[in-house]
Structure 1
Amino acid sequence: MKANVNIIIENKRTNIFEPSINLPDLKIPSLENFIDFSKKARPQQIRYILALYAIMYNQNQVMEWNKDNKNYSLVKAEIEYIFPRNWQNTNYNGRDEKEAQEYLEQIGNKMFLEKKLNIQAGNGYFNKKKEIYKDSYFIEARDLSASSQKDWLKCDIEKRNKQIYDAFSKFFTSVF
């Protein structure tokens, strides 16, 4: 991260640090590294990523959390697996368990949902979960509920991986 802190001495700005002195130039990791990290990360790390992404996804998210004088903030959020975690041998569109596991832990398969709604969604399939997502205070969940698709597929996880990655990449390159 580049440091360039200014102080004001006698109405003049003075740099305390020059850019990049003793600090490495940080680079955004590749999409593949980001996905690999998301598969191995602890739940607390995933919560941080999802929290930042929820706000990047829609700037009105903070207002939604406080809608109706309720506090549906991140404290009450749970990680929802859009494609169900528990393996069931029906309706997996020809995928086997090993292939499903490859995509299960990727960030593109996870989002925030309120605890009550997460319990109701359970390990149902996407078309069934959409009915539950529509009542969420998380804007992305509501947007997914409006989707016309009936299944959450490998290509959907890959697409969402890239959306999250692109949002972070854009944010960090614009800040630094």
Structure 2
Amino acid sequence: MEEILNFFNHPFFVIVGGISTAIAVVIFFYGIYSIFRGIVPVWIRLGKSLHNRKIAIYAENDFESLKSLLSDSGIFKTKNITQITKDSIAKGEKFTMMLVNYPEFNDDIKSILKHKRDSDSLIVYAPQSEGRIEQKLMDKINENRNSIVVNFRGRLLNDIVTSMITTTYEKK
């Protein structure tokens, strides 16, 4: 047994063991660095967005339903959700996150798109039971950055959170 221990105490194995340990330590710290550089900024951006970002909901009849969908999730604060009516479409210009109920605002989408900046997020909720969006309007929505068309309420919440991650929160 002592011969085996003496064999592994040879300077060659001591040097190889030291180099292997040094490589393992460097890889470990590089992994930690990569996590902080890649994932942590996304978490910070999402945290700021969830805490501070104001959401404009372009809806009249379905406003309470859409508002409760967002607030019941526990992710969004009720005070950060604002209703935009047909009479106050220009008021939505100051918001960076816009949710449009297509059945009620189908004639006003082009006007909303005029007020939307590239850095803003636009989510058009268009349930299929209310009819499909005409192709010309769909192409117009597609020409704008950070614009999404959603057909299901469950998907709506997911797309709002994704938009918060991908669009930068700017304090105004």
TM-score, length basis structure 1: 0.29
Q: Which has the higher contact order (CA 8 A, sep 6+)?
A: 1
* Structure ranking higher in helix proportion: 2
Structure exhibiting the larger radius of gyration computed from Cα positions: 2
> TM-score w.r.t. structure 2 length?
0.30
